[in-house]
A and B are shown apart, each in its own frame.
Chain A
Amino acid sequence: MLTLILYNVTNGLMLGAFYVLMALGLSLILNLSNVINFAHGNFLALGAYMALELTKVVGFWGAFLIAPLLTALFGVAVELLMRFVYRRDPVYSLLLTFGLAFVMQGLMLWWWGPTPQEMHMVPALEAPVSADLFFITWYRVFMVAIVIVTVIGVFAFLRYTRVGLRIRAGTLDLDTVSALGVNVKLLRTFNFTMGCLLAGLSGVLATGAIGINPNMGDDLLMPSFIAIIIGGVGSLTGTLFGGLLIGVTAALTAAVYPAASEVVIFVMLVLVLLIRPRGLMGEEGMLT
Protein backbone atom coordinates (compact mmCIF):
# COMPACT_ATOMS: atom_id res chain seq x y z
CA MET A 1 0.00 0.00 0.00
CA LEU A 2 2.68 2.40 1.01
CA THR A 3 4.68 1.24 -1.94
CA LEU A 4 1.81 2.04 -4.23
CA ILE A 5 1.47 5.50 -2.81
CA LEU A 6 5.19 6.09 -3.09
CA TYR A 7 5.11 4.83 -6.62
CA ASN A 8 2.44 7.27 -7.57
CA VAL A 9 4.07 10.10 -5.74
CA THR A 10 7.45 9.55 -7.35
CA ASN A 11 5.84 9.38 -10.73
CA GLY A 12 4.06 12.58 -9.97
CA LEU A 13 7.22 14.29 -8.82
CA MET A 14 9.01 13.24 -11.92
CA LEU A 15 6.21 14.59 -14.01
CA GLY A 16 6.29 17.73 -11.96
CA ALA A 17 9.99 18.10 -12.68
CA PHE A 18 9.24 18.04 -16.37
CA TYR A 19 6.41 20.48 -15.94
CA VAL A 20 8.74 22.88 -14.18
CA LEU A 21 11.46 22.66 -16.77
CA MET A 22 9.11 23.06 -19.67
CA ALA A 23 7.08 25.77 -18.05
CA LEU A 24 10.21 27.74 -17.23
CA GLY A 25 11.38 27.64 -20.80
CA LEU A 26 7.98 28.69 -22.07
CA SER A 27 7.74 31.41 -19.49
CA LEU A 28 11.12 32.87 -20.35
CA ILE A 29 10.15 33.20 -23.97
CA LEU A 30 6.71 34.49 -23.11
CA ASN A 31 7.87 37.13 -20.68
CA LEU A 32 10.49 38.80 -22.79
CA SER A 33 9.26 38.33 -26.33
CA ASN A 34 5.51 38.14 -25.73
CA VAL A 35 5.42 34.96 -27.75
CA ILE A 36 3.66 31.71 -26.96
CA ASN A 37 5.98 29.03 -28.28
CA PHE A 38 3.58 26.41 -29.54
CA ALA A 39 6.54 24.42 -30.77
CA HIS A 40 7.98 24.05 -27.29
CA GLY A 41 6.86 20.45 -27.04
CA ASN A 42 8.47 19.83 -30.40
CA PHE A 43 11.73 21.25 -29.15
CA LEU A 44 11.56 18.71 -26.39
CA ALA A 45 11.06 15.95 -28.94
CA LEU A 46 13.91 17.35 -30.99
CA GLY A 47 16.17 17.22 -27.97
CA ALA A 48 15.18 13.62 -27.41
CA TYR A 49 15.87 12.62 -31.00
CA MET A 50 19.19 14.45 -30.98
CA ALA A 51 20.12 12.54 -27.86
CA LEU A 52 19.07 9.30 -29.50
CA GLU A 53 21.31 9.90 -32.48
CA LEU A 54 24.20 11.30 -30.52
CA THR A 55 24.30 8.40 -28.10
CA LYS A 56 25.31 6.22 -30.98
CA VAL A 57 28.27 8.47 -31.57
CA VAL A 58 29.38 9.90 -28.24
CA GLY A 59 27.56 7.77 -25.73
CA PHE A 60 24.96 8.89 -23.26
CA TRP A 61 26.97 11.50 -21.41
CA GLY A 62 28.12 13.11 -24.61
CA ALA A 63 24.58 13.17 -25.86
CA PHE A 64 23.40 14.60 -22.60
CA LEU A 65 25.70 17.55 -22.96
CA ILE A 66 25.44 18.17 -26.67
CA ALA A 67 21.79 17.48 -27.50
CA PRO A 68 20.37 20.45 -25.56
CA LEU A 69 22.94 22.69 -27.18
CA LEU A 70 22.00 21.50 -30.63
CA THR A 71 18.37 22.11 -29.84
CA ALA A 72 19.24 25.58 -28.66
CA LEU A 73 21.09 26.17 -31.89
CA PHE A 74 17.98 25.26 -33.80
CA GLY A 75 16.21 27.71 -31.57
CA VAL A 76 18.53 30.46 -32.77
CA ALA A 77 17.54 29.75 -36.35
CA VAL A 78 13.87 29.87 -35.42
CA GLU A 79 14.26 33.09 -33.53
CA LEU A 80 15.71 34.74 -36.58
CA LEU A 81 12.42 34.06 -38.31
CA MET A 82 10.53 35.44 -35.36
CA ARG A 83 12.24 38.77 -35.80
CA PHE A 84 10.04 39.45 -38.77
CA VAL A 85 6.93 39.40 -36.68
CA TYR A 86 7.89 40.91 -33.35
CA ARG A 87 6.78 44.37 -34.37
CA ARG A 88 3.37 43.23 -35.43
CA ASP A 89 0.19 42.13 -33.76
CA PRO A 90 0.82 39.15 -31.42
CA VAL A 91 -1.44 36.96 -33.54
CA TYR A 92 1.31 36.64 -36.10
CA SER A 93 3.95 35.36 -33.73
CA LEU A 94 1.48 32.86 -32.35
CA LEU A 95 0.66 31.62 -35.81
CA LEU A 96 4.33 31.43 -36.63
CA THR A 97 5.14 29.14 -33.70
CA PHE A 98 1.93 27.26 -34.36
CA GLY A 99 2.98 26.62 -37.93
CA LEU A 100 6.45 25.79 -36.72
CA ALA A 101 5.02 23.11 -34.46
CA PHE A 102 3.41 21.50 -37.47
CA VAL A 103 6.57 21.72 -39.49
CA MET A 104 8.74 20.25 -36.76
CA GLN A 105 6.28 17.50 -36.01
CA GLY A 106 5.94 16.65 -39.67
CA LEU A 107 9.68 16.65 -40.24
CA MET A 108 10.43 14.51 -37.23
CA LEU A 109 7.67 12.14 -38.24
CA TRP A 110 9.10 11.89 -41.69
CA TRP A 111 12.70 11.42 -40.62
CA TRP A 112 12.34 9.10 -37.67
CA GLY A 113 8.94 7.57 -38.27
CA PRO A 114 6.05 7.28 -35.87
CA THR A 115 7.15 4.21 -33.96
CA PRO A 116 8.39 5.03 -30.50
CA GLN A 117 12.06 4.39 -30.04
CA GLU A 118 13.98 3.33 -27.01
CA MET A 119 17.08 4.93 -25.74
CA HIS A 120 19.90 2.80 -24.50
CA MET A 121 20.43 3.96 -21.00
CA VAL A 122 23.67 3.81 -19.11
CA PRO A 123 23.31 0.61 -17.03
CA ALA A 124 24.39 2.27 -13.83
CA LEU A 125 21.48 4.64 -14.00
CA GLU A 126 18.98 1.97 -14.69
CA ALA A 127 19.64 0.30 -11.40
CA PRO A 128 17.15 0.97 -8.64
CA VAL A 129 18.18 2.85 -5.56
CA SER A 130 17.11 0.10 -3.27
CA ALA A 131 15.58 -3.30 -3.62
CA ASP A 132 12.34 -2.32 -1.92
CA LEU A 133 11.81 0.87 -3.83
CA PHE A 134 12.47 -0.71 -7.17
CA PHE A 135 10.73 2.02 -9.07
CA ILE A 136 13.12 4.69 -7.88
CA THR A 137 15.98 4.13 -10.22
CA TRP A 138 19.14 6.16 -10.09
CA TYR A 139 17.98 7.66 -13.32
CA ARG A 140 15.04 9.27 -11.65
CA VAL A 141 17.21 10.64 -8.92
CA PHE A 142 19.62 11.90 -11.53
CA MET A 143 16.79 13.49 -13.42
CA VAL A 144 15.36 15.32 -10.47
CA ALA A 145 18.84 16.40 -9.45
CA ILE A 146 19.50 17.84 -12.89
CA VAL A 147 16.21 19.69 -12.85
CA ILE A 148 16.98 21.19 -9.46
CA VAL A 149 20.44 22.23 -10.57
CA THR A 150 19.10 23.70 -13.77
CA VAL A 151 16.38 25.67 -12.07
CA ILE A 152 18.81 27.08 -9.54
CA GLY A 153 21.15 27.82 -12.41
CA VAL A 154 18.52 29.71 -14.35
CA PHE A 155 17.43 31.77 -11.41
CA ALA A 156 20.99 32.50 -10.41
CA PHE A 157 21.78 33.52 -13.95
CA LEU A 158 18.86 35.89 -14.06
CA ARG A 159 19.64 37.32 -10.68
CA TYR A 160 23.40 37.71 -10.74
CA THR A 161 24.56 38.20 -14.27
CA ARG A 162 24.35 41.34 -16.39
CA VAL A 163 22.52 39.59 -19.17
CA GLY A 164 20.13 38.16 -16.65
CA LEU A 165 19.43 41.60 -15.31
CA ARG A 166 18.74 42.90 -18.78
CA ILE A 167 16.35 40.08 -19.42
CA ARG A 168 14.51 40.77 -16.22
CA ALA A 169 14.34 44.46 -17.00
CA GLY A 170 13.28 43.67 -20.51
CA THR A 171 10.27 41.70 -19.37
CA LEU A 172 9.07 44.82 -17.59
CA ASP A 173 9.90 47.42 -20.19
CA LEU A 174 11.74 46.45 -23.30
CA ASP A 175 11.68 49.92 -24.79
CA THR A 176 13.54 51.41 -21.88
CA VAL A 177 16.12 48.67 -22.00
CA SER A 178 16.61 49.38 -25.65
CA ALA A 179 16.92 53.08 -24.97
CA LEU A 180 19.68 52.29 -22.53
CA GLY A 181 21.73 50.98 -25.38
CA VAL A 182 21.22 47.28 -24.96
CA ASN A 183 21.02 45.26 -28.15
CA VAL A 184 17.48 44.06 -27.71
CA LYS A 185 17.55 41.82 -30.76
CA LEU A 186 20.45 39.87 -29.37
CA LEU A 187 18.84 39.74 -25.99
CA ARG A 188 15.69 38.24 -27.40
CA THR A 189 17.67 35.70 -29.34
CA PHE A 190 19.60 34.72 -26.30
CA ASN A 191 16.47 34.46 -24.20
CA PHE A 192 14.65 32.40 -26.78
CA THR A 193 17.63 30.12 -27.07
CA MET A 194 17.71 29.63 -23.34
CA GLY A 195 14.08 28.60 -23.44
CA CYS A 196 14.80 26.12 -26.19
CA LEU A 197 17.79 24.83 -24.28
CA LEU A 198 15.51 24.01 -21.38
CA ALA A 199 13.11 22.27 -23.71
CA GLY A 200 15.93 20.31 -25.29
CA LEU A 201 17.21 19.33 -21.89
CA SER A 202 13.74 18.15 -20.95
CA GLY A 203 13.78 16.05 -24.07
CA VAL A 204 17.08 14.46 -23.23
CA LEU A 205 15.92 13.68 -19.73
CA ALA A 206 12.67 12.32 -21.09
CA THR A 207 14.47 9.68 -23.10
CA GLY A 208 15.01 7.68 -19.97
CA ALA A 209 11.43 7.97 -18.86
CA ILE A 210 9.18 7.65 -21.87
CA GLY A 211 9.43 6.36 -25.40
CA ILE A 212 10.80 8.71 -28.01
CA ASN A 213 8.20 9.69 -30.56
CA PRO A 214 7.30 12.92 -32.38
CA ASN A 215 4.35 13.59 -30.08
CA MET A 216 6.15 13.16 -26.81
CA GLY A 217 6.21 16.79 -25.92
CA ASP A 218 2.57 17.46 -26.58
CA ASP A 219 1.31 16.12 -23.29
CA LEU A 220 3.59 18.46 -21.44
CA LEU A 221 2.66 21.60 -23.31
CA MET A 222 -0.75 22.17 -21.83
CA PRO A 223 0.27 21.59 -18.20
CA SER A 224 3.11 24.03 -18.79
CA PHE A 225 0.62 26.63 -19.96
CA ILE A 226 -1.47 26.02 -16.93
CA ALA A 227 1.55 26.23 -14.66
CA ILE A 228 2.31 29.64 -16.11
CA ILE A 229 -1.25 30.89 -15.76
CA ILE A 230 -1.61 29.59 -12.23
CA GLY A 231 1.72 30.94 -11.16
CA GLY A 232 1.03 34.28 -12.73
CA VAL A 233 2.03 35.49 -16.13
CA GLY A 234 5.12 37.63 -16.08
CA SER A 235 6.58 36.07 -13.00
CA LEU A 236 9.20 33.37 -13.41
CA THR A 237 9.06 32.53 -9.73
CA GLY A 238 5.35 32.20 -10.20
CA THR A 239 5.92 29.76 -13.02
CA LEU A 240 8.27 27.74 -10.89
CA PHE A 241 5.76 27.72 -8.13
CA GLY A 242 2.94 26.90 -10.52
CA GLY A 243 4.87 24.03 -12.02
CA LEU A 244 5.70 22.62 -8.64
CA LEU A 245 2.16 23.09 -7.46
CA ILE A 246 0.57 21.21 -10.27
CA GLY A 247 3.29 18.59 -10.19
CA VAL A 248 2.83 17.95 -6.51
CA THR A 249 -0.96 18.14 -6.68
CA ALA A 250 -0.99 15.70 -9.55
CA ALA A 251 1.33 13.45 -7.58
CA LEU A 252 -0.77 13.54 -4.47
CA THR A 253 -3.98 13.03 -6.40
CA ALA A 254 -2.34 10.11 -8.13
CA ALA A 255 -1.61 8.60 -4.76
CA VAL A 256 -5.19 8.86 -3.65
CA TYR A 257 -7.32 8.74 -6.79
CA PRO A 258 -5.17 8.10 -9.84
CA ALA A 259 -7.83 8.66 -12.46
CA ALA A 260 -8.27 12.25 -11.38
CA SER A 261 -4.64 13.28 -11.46
CA GLU A 262 -4.93 14.87 -14.88
CA VAL A 263 -8.26 16.53 -14.27
CA VAL A 264 -7.07 18.15 -11.09
CA ILE A 265 -4.75 20.39 -13.09
CA PHE A 266 -7.65 21.78 -15.05
CA VAL A 267 -9.68 22.18 -11.91
CA MET A 268 -6.91 24.26 -10.41
CA LEU A 269 -6.83 26.36 -13.55
CA VAL A 270 -10.49 27.16 -13.34
CA LEU A 271 -10.23 27.91 -9.62
CA VAL A 272 -7.36 30.31 -10.17
CA LEU A 273 -9.15 32.05 -13.02
CA LEU A 274 -12.19 32.47 -10.86
CA ILE A 275 -10.56 33.57 -7.66
CA ARG A 276 -7.35 35.24 -8.63
CA PRO A 277 -7.14 35.74 -12.37
CA ARG A 278 -3.75 37.35 -12.33
CA GLY A 279 -2.28 34.17 -10.99
CA LEU A 280 -0.83 33.44 -7.62
CA MET A 281 2.19 35.63 -8.07
CA GLY A 282 1.17 37.71 -11.01
CA GLU A 283 1.28 41.46 -10.87
CA GLU A 284 -1.91 43.37 -11.38
CA GLY A 285 -1.49 45.22 -14.63
CA MET A 286 0.41 42.41 -16.25
CA LEU A 287 -2.12 42.68 -18.95
CA THR A 288 0.08 41.44 -21.70
Chain B
Amino acid sequence: MSSATAIAARDEQPLYRRWLPLAVMSLALITAPLWFPRLGGYTALASGVLVFGLAAMGLNLLLGFTGVLSFGHAAYFGLGAYGAGLMLKYVAPSTPLAILVGTLLGGLAGTLFGLLIVRRRGVYFAMCTIAFGQIFYYIAYKWNDFTGGFDGLRGFHREPIGFGALAFDITNDTPFYYFTLLVFAIAVALMGLLLRSPFGRTLRAIRENERRARFLGIPVERHIWLSFSISCFFTALAGTLYALLNNFADPLALHYSQSGYFVIMAVLGGMRSFWGPLLGAAVFWVLKDFLSSALPTEWMAFLGAIFMLSVLFFPRGMLGMLKRRGVE
Protein backbone atom coordinates (compact mmCIF):
# COMPACT_ATOMS: atom_id res chain seq x y z
CA MET B 1 0.00 0.00 0.00
CA SER B 2 1.22 3.47 -0.62
CA SER B 3 1.61 6.65 1.31
CA ALA B 4 -1.48 8.21 -0.23
CA THR B 5 -3.88 5.55 0.93
CA ALA B 6 -2.06 5.57 4.21
CA ILE B 7 -2.75 9.26 4.45
CA ALA B 8 -6.36 8.71 3.45
CA ALA B 9 -6.77 5.93 5.96
CA ARG B 10 -5.13 8.00 8.61
CA ASP B 11 -7.37 10.96 7.92
CA GLU B 12 -10.38 8.79 8.51
CA GLN B 13 -9.21 7.76 11.94
CA PRO B 14 -10.59 9.51 14.97
CA LEU B 15 -8.61 12.52 16.04
CA TYR B 16 -7.04 10.97 19.08
CA ARG B 17 -5.54 8.13 17.06
CA ARG B 18 -3.64 10.64 14.97
CA TRP B 19 -2.39 12.68 17.84
CA LEU B 20 -1.68 9.82 20.19
CA PRO B 21 1.74 8.83 18.84
CA LEU B 22 2.81 12.44 18.89
CA ALA B 23 1.55 12.91 22.43
CA VAL B 24 3.26 9.77 23.63
CA MET B 25 6.50 10.79 22.02
CA SER B 26 6.31 14.29 23.47
CA LEU B 27 5.71 12.85 26.89
CA ALA B 28 8.62 10.49 26.53
CA LEU B 29 10.90 13.31 25.47
CA ILE B 30 9.79 15.62 28.25
CA THR B 31 10.34 13.03 30.93
CA ALA B 32 13.51 11.56 29.43
CA PRO B 33 15.90 12.71 32.18
CA LEU B 34 13.79 10.61 34.53
CA TRP B 35 13.55 7.30 32.73
CA PHE B 36 16.51 7.34 30.37
CA PRO B 37 19.23 7.00 33.02
CA ARG B 38 17.33 4.10 34.53
CA LEU B 39 17.69 2.24 31.24
CA GLY B 40 21.43 2.69 31.26
CA GLY B 41 21.60 5.94 29.39
CA TYR B 42 22.60 9.36 30.61
CA THR B 43 21.03 12.74 30.12
CA ALA B 44 23.75 14.09 27.87
CA LEU B 45 23.18 11.13 25.59
CA ALA B 46 19.52 12.04 25.36
CA SER B 47 20.51 15.59 24.47
CA GLY B 48 22.75 14.12 21.82
CA VAL B 49 19.82 12.22 20.37
CA LEU B 50 17.87 15.46 20.03
CA VAL B 51 20.82 17.22 18.45
CA PHE B 52 21.46 14.55 15.89
CA GLY B 53 17.77 14.02 15.40
CA LEU B 54 17.41 17.65 14.48
CA ALA B 55 20.38 17.46 12.12
CA ALA B 56 19.01 14.34 10.47
CA MET B 57 15.54 15.83 10.17
CA GLY B 58 17.07 18.89 8.61
CA LEU B 59 18.85 16.73 6.07
CA ASN B 60 15.71 14.75 5.46
CA LEU B 61 13.92 17.85 4.27
CA LEU B 62 16.19 17.56 1.28
CA LEU B 63 16.67 13.81 1.13
CA GLY B 64 13.33 12.32 2.04
CA PHE B 65 10.95 15.06 1.00
CA THR B 66 12.61 16.59 -2.03
CA GLY B 67 14.35 13.44 -3.15
CA VAL B 68 17.82 14.96 -3.37
CA LEU B 69 20.81 13.31 -1.74
CA SER B 70 23.46 15.34 0.02
CA PHE B 71 26.32 13.48 1.57
CA GLY B 72 28.00 16.61 2.83
CA HIS B 73 25.65 18.04 5.40
CA ALA B 74 28.21 17.64 8.16
CA ALA B 75 29.87 20.73 6.73
CA TYR B 76 26.96 22.89 7.83
CA PHE B 77 26.62 21.00 11.08
CA GLY B 78 30.27 21.63 11.80
CA LEU B 79 30.10 25.24 10.70
CA GLY B 80 27.26 25.71 13.15
CA ALA B 81 29.32 24.11 15.88
CA TYR B 82 32.47 26.07 15.16
CA GLY B 83 30.52 29.26 14.64
CA ALA B 84 28.91 28.95 18.02
CA GLY B 85 32.13 27.91 19.70
CA LEU B 86 34.18 30.67 18.17
CA MET B 87 31.57 33.25 19.12
CA LEU B 88 31.57 32.09 22.71
CA LYS B 89 35.33 31.86 22.87
CA TYR B 90 36.40 35.01 21.13
CA VAL B 91 33.51 37.40 20.93
CA ALA B 92 30.85 37.33 23.60
CA PRO B 93 29.66 35.00 26.33
CA SER B 94 26.15 34.87 24.99
CA THR B 95 24.49 31.58 24.16
CA PRO B 96 21.68 32.98 22.01
CA LEU B 97 24.17 34.98 19.97
CA ALA B 98 26.36 31.94 19.51
CA ILE B 99 23.42 29.92 18.30
CA LEU B 100 22.36 32.66 15.94
CA VAL B 101 25.80 33.16 14.43
CA GLY B 102 26.48 29.45 14.10
CA THR B 103 23.17 28.83 12.41
CA LEU B 104 23.68 31.72 10.04
CA LEU B 105 27.20 30.64 9.21
CA GLY B 106 26.23 27.12 8.31
CA GLY B 107 23.01 28.12 6.64
CA LEU B 108 24.55 30.79 4.46
CA ALA B 109 27.42 28.52 3.45
CA GLY B 110 24.86 25.99 2.33
CA THR B 111 22.79 28.58 0.52
CA LEU B 112 25.79 29.80 -1.45
CA PHE B 113 27.08 26.35 -2.22
CA GLY B 114 23.63 25.25 -3.27
CA LEU B 115 23.66 27.87 -5.99
CA LEU B 116 26.76 26.32 -7.49
CA ILE B 117 25.53 22.81 -7.81
CA VAL B 118 21.79 23.10 -8.19
CA ARG B 119 21.88 21.98 -11.80
CA ARG B 120 23.57 18.72 -10.97
CA ARG B 121 21.76 15.60 -9.98
CA GLY B 122 22.21 12.18 -8.55
CA VAL B 123 25.63 10.92 -7.60
CA TYR B 124 27.44 13.84 -9.12
CA PHE B 125 25.52 16.19 -6.87
CA ALA B 126 26.35 13.95 -3.91
CA MET B 127 30.03 13.92 -4.84
CA CYS B 128 30.16 17.68 -4.95
CA THR B 129 28.52 17.94 -1.56
CA ILE B 130 31.12 15.57 -0.13
CA ALA B 131 34.05 17.39 -1.67
CA PHE B 132 32.77 20.77 -0.57
CA GLY B 133 32.26 19.53 2.96
CA GLN B 134 35.81 18.30 3.11
CA ILE B 135 37.07 21.79 2.42
CA PHE B 136 35.78 22.89 5.79
CA TYR B 137 37.06 19.76 7.48
CA TYR B 138 40.45 20.55 6.09
CA ILE B 139 40.33 24.16 7.23
CA ALA B 140 39.28 23.21 10.74
CA TYR B 141 41.96 20.56 10.86
CA LYS B 142 44.80 22.74 9.70
CA TRP B 143 44.07 26.14 11.08
CA ASN B 144 45.49 25.20 14.43
CA ASP B 145 45.77 28.61 15.97
CA PHE B 146 42.22 29.59 15.33
CA THR B 147 40.26 26.40 15.44
CA GLY B 148 42.38 24.22 17.65
CA GLY B 149 43.25 21.87 14.82
CA PHE B 150 42.79 18.18 15.29
CA ASP B 151 42.17 18.52 18.99
CA GLY B 152 39.21 20.69 18.34
CA LEU B 153 38.00 24.00 19.61
CA ARG B 154 37.94 24.27 23.33
CA GLY B 155 37.86 26.97 25.91
CA PHE B 156 34.25 27.90 25.77
CA HIS B 157 31.19 26.75 27.60
CA ARG B 158 27.48 27.28 27.79
CA GLU B 159 26.59 30.63 29.15
CA PRO B 160 23.46 31.24 31.17
CA ILE B 161 20.60 32.65 29.17
CA GLY B 162 18.86 35.78 30.21
CA PHE B 163 19.87 38.67 32.42
CA GLY B 164 20.56 38.98 36.12
CA ALA B 165 17.87 37.40 38.18
CA LEU B 166 16.15 35.90 35.15
CA ALA B 167 19.25 34.01 34.06
CA PHE B 168 18.62 30.42 33.20
CA ASP B 169 21.74 28.44 33.91
CA ILE B 170 22.19 25.63 31.43
CA THR B 171 25.56 24.43 32.60
CA ASN B 172 24.22 21.23 34.04
CA ASP B 173 23.03 18.35 31.94
CA THR B 174 19.37 18.41 32.84
CA PRO B 175 18.66 22.11 32.32
CA PHE B 176 20.59 21.90 29.08
CA TYR B 177 18.51 18.94 27.99
CA TYR B 178 15.34 20.97 28.41
CA PHE B 179 16.87 23.90 26.62
CA THR B 180 17.78 21.62 23.72
CA LEU B 181 14.31 20.13 23.77
CA LEU B 182 12.81 23.60 23.55
CA VAL B 183 14.96 24.59 20.59
CA PHE B 184 14.26 21.23 19.00
CA ALA B 185 10.53 21.64 19.44
CA ILE B 186 10.50 25.10 17.89
CA ALA B 187 12.67 24.02 14.96
CA VAL B 188 10.62 20.93 14.32
CA ALA B 189 7.38 22.88 14.48
CA LEU B 190 8.72 25.24 11.84
CA MET B 191 9.74 22.33 9.69
CA GLY B 192 6.34 20.79 10.03
CA LEU B 193 4.63 23.99 8.98
CA LEU B 194 6.90 24.24 6.00
CA LEU B 195 6.19 20.73 4.88
CA ARG B 196 2.47 21.12 5.21
CA SER B 197 2.47 24.22 3.09
CA PRO B 198 2.12 24.27 -0.69
CA PHE B 199 5.88 24.68 -0.82
CA GLY B 200 6.23 21.39 1.00
CA ARG B 201 3.87 19.68 -1.41
CA THR B 202 5.80 21.07 -4.32
CA LEU B 203 8.94 19.52 -2.91
CA ARG B 204 7.20 16.19 -2.71
CA ALA B 205 6.05 16.56 -6.29
CA ILE B 206 9.64 17.11 -7.32
CA ARG B 207 10.60 13.99 -5.45
CA GLU B 208 7.85 11.94 -7.07
CA ASN B 209 8.46 12.97 -10.62
CA GLU B 210 10.84 15.79 -11.35
CA ARG B 211 10.05 15.94 -15.03
CA ARG B 212 6.35 16.13 -14.45
CA ALA B 213 6.86 18.81 -11.83
CA ARG B 214 8.90 20.86 -14.26
CA PHE B 215 6.29 20.53 -16.95
CA LEU B 216 3.60 21.59 -14.56
CA GLY B 217 5.37 24.88 -14.36
CA ILE B 218 7.31 24.36 -11.17
CA PRO B 219 10.72 26.02 -11.17
CA VAL B 220 12.49 22.89 -10.06
CA GLU B 221 16.02 24.20 -9.62
CA ARG B 222 14.86 27.08 -7.52
CA HIS B 223 12.89 24.80 -5.25
CA ILE B 224 15.74 22.37 -4.88
CA TRP B 225 18.02 25.23 -3.98
CA LEU B 226 15.54 26.51 -1.42
CA SER B 227 15.11 23.07 0.07
CA PHE B 228 18.86 22.63 0.22
CA SER B 229 19.31 26.01 1.81
CA ILE B 230 16.63 25.53 4.45
CA SER B 231 17.90 22.09 5.33
CA CYS B 232 21.37 23.54 5.86
CA PHE B 233 20.00 26.12 8.28
CA PHE B 234 18.33 23.45 10.38
CA THR B 235 21.40 21.25 10.36
CA ALA B 236 23.58 24.20 11.31
CA LEU B 237 21.28 24.94 14.21
CA ALA B 238 21.77 21.38 15.37
CA GLY B 239 25.49 21.97 15.07
CA THR B 240 25.36 24.92 17.43
CA LEU B 241 23.58 22.77 19.96
CA TYR B 242 26.25 20.13 19.48
CA ALA B 243 28.96 22.60 20.37
CA LEU B 244 27.02 23.68 23.43
CA LEU B 245 26.38 20.11 24.44
CA ASN B 246 30.02 19.17 24.45
CA ASN B 247 31.52 22.58 25.17
CA PHE B 248 33.73 21.54 22.36
CA ALA B 249 33.80 21.52 18.55
CA ASP B 250 35.90 19.05 16.64
CA PRO B 251 36.86 18.59 12.99
CA LEU B 252 35.20 15.20 12.89
CA ALA B 253 31.88 16.99 13.13
CA LEU B 254 32.70 18.28 9.65
CA HIS B 255 33.95 15.04 8.17
CA TYR B 256 31.96 13.24 5.51
CA SER B 257 31.60 10.27 7.81
CA GLN B 258 29.44 12.51 9.98
CA SER B 259 27.41 13.30 6.89
CA GLY B 260 27.05 9.61 6.37
CA TYR B 261 25.75 9.23 9.90
CA PHE B 262 23.04 11.76 9.18
CA VAL B 263 22.00 9.92 6.05
CA ILE B 264 21.96 6.62 7.83
CA MET B 265 19.85 8.07 10.62
CA ALA B 266 17.32 9.32 8.12
CA VAL B 267 17.24 6.06 6.19
CA LEU B 268 17.23 3.85 9.27
CA GLY B 269 14.34 5.72 10.78
CA GLY B 270 12.45 6.10 7.54
CA MET B 271 13.16 8.73 4.90
CA ARG B 272 9.60 9.22 3.86
CA SER B 273 8.29 10.01 7.31
CA PHE B 274 8.66 13.21 9.26
CA TRP B 275 9.78 11.71 12.55
CA GLY B 276 11.76 8.89 11.03
CA PRO B 277 15.13 10.62 11.27
CA LEU B 278 14.60 11.29 14.97
CA LEU B 279 13.93 7.64 15.57
CA GLY B 280 16.92 6.74 13.47
CA ALA B 281 19.06 9.18 15.38
CA ALA B 282 17.93 7.68 18.67
CA VAL B 283 18.72 4.14 17.60
CA PHE B 284 21.94 5.01 15.84
CA TRP B 285 23.35 7.34 18.44
CA VAL B 286 22.59 5.13 21.39
CA LEU B 287 23.89 2.12 19.52
CA LYS B 288 27.10 3.88 18.55
CA ASP B 289 27.63 5.05 22.09
CA PHE B 290 27.08 1.56 23.39
CA LEU B 291 29.20 -0.18 20.78
CA SER B 292 32.14 2.17 20.98
CA SER B 293 32.41 1.72 24.71
CA ALA B 294 31.73 -1.99 24.71
CA LEU B 295 34.00 -2.86 21.79
CA PRO B 296 36.63 -0.16 21.57
CA THR B 297 38.46 -1.66 18.62
CA GLU B 298 35.75 -3.49 16.75
CA TRP B 299 32.81 -1.10 16.96
CA MET B 300 33.45 0.32 13.53
CA ALA B 301 33.04 -3.03 11.88
CA PHE B 302 29.79 -3.70 13.72
CA LEU B 303 28.42 -0.29 12.97
CA GLY B 304 29.29 -0.67 9.32
CA ALA B 305 27.67 -4.07 9.26
CA ILE B 306 24.50 -2.57 10.69
CA PHE B 307 24.52 0.09 7.97
CA MET B 308 24.87 -2.51 5.30
CA LEU B 309 22.23 -4.81 6.72
CA SER B 310 19.70 -2.04 7.11
CA VAL B 311 20.33 -0.85 3.57
CA LEU B 312 19.95 -4.34 2.20
CA PHE B 313 16.97 -5.46 4.21
CA PHE B 314 15.25 -2.42 5.68
CA PRO B 315 15.42 0.23 2.99
CA ARG B 316 12.18 1.80 4.09
CA GLY B 317 13.48 2.23 7.59
CA MET B 318 11.71 1.56 10.84
CA LEU B 319 8.82 3.95 10.48
CA GLY B 320 8.46 2.97 6.87
CA MET B 321 7.93 -0.61 7.89
CA LEU B 322 5.57 0.31 10.66
CA LYS B 323 3.47 2.34 8.29
CA ARG B 324 3.02 -0.59 6.00
CA ARG B 325 2.05 -2.90 8.80
CA GLY B 326 -0.27 -0.39 10.38
CA VAL B 327 -2.26 0.11 7.25
CA GLU B 328 -2.48 -3.54 6.40
Contact = CB atoms under 8 A, between A and B. Distances in A.
Direct A–B touching, Cβ under 8 Å: yes
Interface of A: 30, 34-36, 38, 81, 84-85, 88-92, 94-96, 98-107, 109-110, 222, 225-226, 228-229, 233, 262-263, 266, 269-270, 273-274, 277, 286-288
A225 B128 CA distance: 9
B300 A287 contact: no
B326 interface: no
Nearest to A267: B135
Given A91-B63, A99-B311, A229-B131, 17 more contacts: A36-B123, A36-B127, A84-B312, A85-B311, A90-B69, A92-B267, A95-B308, A106-B297, A106-B299, A109-B298, A110-B298, A222-B134, A225-B130, A266-B134, A266-B138, A277-B120, A288-B124
A277 B119 contact: yes
B308 A106 contact: no
Given A81-B312, A99-B305, A226-B131, A94 B138 contact: no
A84 B299 CA distance: 25
Which DSSP category, helix, strand, loop or mixed, fits chain B's interface?
A: helix
A99 B131 contact: no
B307 A91 contact: no
A98 B69 contact: no
A101 B264 CA distance: 14
B315 interface: yes
A38 to B, nearest CB: 8
A99 B299 contact: no
A277 B131 CA distance: 13
Contact of B117 (A34, A96, A105, A277): A277
Interface string B271-307: 1000000000000000000000000011111111111
Nearest 8 CB-CB pairs, A to B? Answer: A102-B304, A106-B301, A99-B307, A106-B300, A288-B122, A103-B304, A99-B308, A287-B121
Contact of B315 (A92, A103, A228): A92
Given A95-B264, A99-B311, A274 B120 contact: no
B120 A287 contact: yes
A226 to B, nearest CB: 6
